[in-house]
Amino acid sequence: MSNLRDEAVGLLQQLLRLNTVNPPGNETIAAHALRDYLASHGVECELYARTPERANLVARLPGGDGPSLAFMSHTDTVVADAADWSRDPWSGDLADEHVWGRGALDMKNQAAAGAVAFASLAREGFRPAGDLVFIAAADEEVGKAFGLEWLCEEHPETVRVDYAVNEGGGERVELGGSTYYLCASAEKMSAPFRLRVHGRSGHASMPGIADNALVRAAPLIEALGAYRPEPEVGPEVEAFLTTVLGETPRAEQVLARLGELDPLAVELIEPLLSLTLSPTVISASEQRNVIPATCDVTVDCRLLAGKTPEDVEPIIREVLGEGDYELEFLERSGGTRSSLETPLWRAIEDWVGATEPGAKVAPVCCAGFTDSHWLRDAFGTVAYGFFPMRTMDPELAARLIHSADERVHVDDLELGVEFLRELARSFA
């Protein structure tokens, strides 16, 4: 695998040196780099773009009548402040067996590994049982209007597949003396809402004659931050508990039981037991000397898979209590799941067992949003988040994603290429 390792490292470095922070994205430069790489190995691909600077790339190895499989990725990243980093976030530096840069873990690493796995199979003359598809989408981090959602709506024939592997899982964790690889088979719904609190404006030098909406918002923000909902055990958490504990405790006992096993297990499962409410943005007066008549609070709200804003709005209003405010949900995305009883799940289990005998696959629900939702929602695709990582500590990786000094170990990059190649072959 050494040549493929070097190939993946080189391609990842190239991608990391391209600034595709979203907004504005400018993912076309990454799509061009991937297109040129694939073309150099005899792979034809197509670019699809709603606007010229926001291109998606799709490549395909035609197969027979068997199940189709996609390697998913996205090429946009979140912002990076170079002042916070030890190295230039767009350097693509290779140092101490790590490749550094914004997107090294989320998720240009998987884009590079997917492209190398795809190209290497193509040049070996591999013929899949069904079409093998490589997707490098735009606009996953913010927006969605230019990326995979748009492709599903405007070019469904290019991305319609039976199975797909994406980001959101693959971490190797040790819990209670046993080894597990996490695989995300579902995700929570992102359903942010705006709380608009009303008061009465006035001159800031005479606060007694006004009714400060910002002050009125404070106890509502505190109530949202303090709320701890009753836990629920969904199918993914139930399967996780059965895998690691051998049983499913009652919902109110889950965290205590996991705490006896390992604190890491508590961190993994706690956000998957209920909706979460996180006030994140506040906007009131635009001038220091004007008491605001309205105060807008944006709340990041994540719902359990299968729940809707209509299900939880009464709960949120009960938490807030009476008051002069408006509550408006701003969007809804995600919240889909895939069955665990599929050939793709069994293929991942087989790979893990062969790669590390004794290790097991543990299902989880992804607390955040991924592009897997769009394929599940549009076509009923079975999509899992699984890109194996066994060298970098999973807790360190979690802290580096969307943060400073993001980097990936080259062993994990090579492992990802190996996994994707073997997965495609197992489907053949």
Grade residue 182 by pLDDT with cuts at 50, 70 and 90: very high
DSSP per residue, 117-185: HHHHHHHTT---SS-EEEEEES--SS--SSSHHHHHHH-HHHH--SEEEESS--BEEEETTEEEEEEEE
Is the per-residue pLDDT at 1 higher than 60? no
Q: Which residues pair with 114 in a beta bridge?
A: none
Quote the pLDDT of residue 142: 85
Contact 185, 384 (CB under 8 A): yes
Contacts of 37-40 spanning 24+ positions with Cβ under 8 A: 37/11, 37/115, 37/119, 38/115, 38/118, 38/119, 38/134
In this prediction, residues 201-230 reach a mean pLDDT of 96
Q: What is the pLDDT of residues 156-169, one digit of tens each?
A: 999 999 999 999 99
SS3 content of the chain, % helix, strand, coil (to 5): 40, 25, 35
- pLDDT band with cut points at 50, 70 and 90 for residue 252: very high
For position 143, what pLDDT does the model report? 75
Backbone torsions φ then ψ of 80, nearest 5 degrees: -140, 135
Strand, coil or helix: 113: helix
Q: Which CATH class is domain 2-168+370-427?
A: alpha beta
Average pLDDT over residues 362-372: 94
Helix (H) or strand (E) holding 318: helix 309-320
pLDDT at residue 119, rounded to an integer: 98
- Residue 240: is it exposed, middle or buried by C-beta count within 10 angstroms (0-12/13-18/19+)? buried
For 189-332, give the CATH class. alpha beta
Q: How confident is the model at residue 192 (pLDDT cuts 50, 70, 90)?
A: very high
CA distance 78 to 19: 10
pLDDT digits (tens, 9 = 90+) for 282-305: 999 999 999 999 999 999 999 999
Q: What's the pLDDT at 359? A: 98
Locate 68 and state its tokens: 């189709």
| Residue 360 confidence (pLDDT) above 90 | yes
Query: Residue 371: pLDDT above 70?
Result: yes
Domain with CATH 3.40.630.10 in the chain: 2-168+370-427
The CATH 3.30.70.360 portion of the chain extends over 189-332
pLDDT tens profile 308-359: 999 999 999 999 999 999 999 999 999 999 999 999 999 999 999 999 999 9
Can you tell me the mean pLDDT for 400-408?
A: 97
Tell me the pLDDT tens digit for each residue of 74-124. 999 999 999 999 999 999 999 999 999 999 999 999 999 999 999 999 999
Mean pLDDT of the chain: 97
The per-residue pLDDT for 2 is 66
pLDDT exceeds cutoff 80 at 144: no
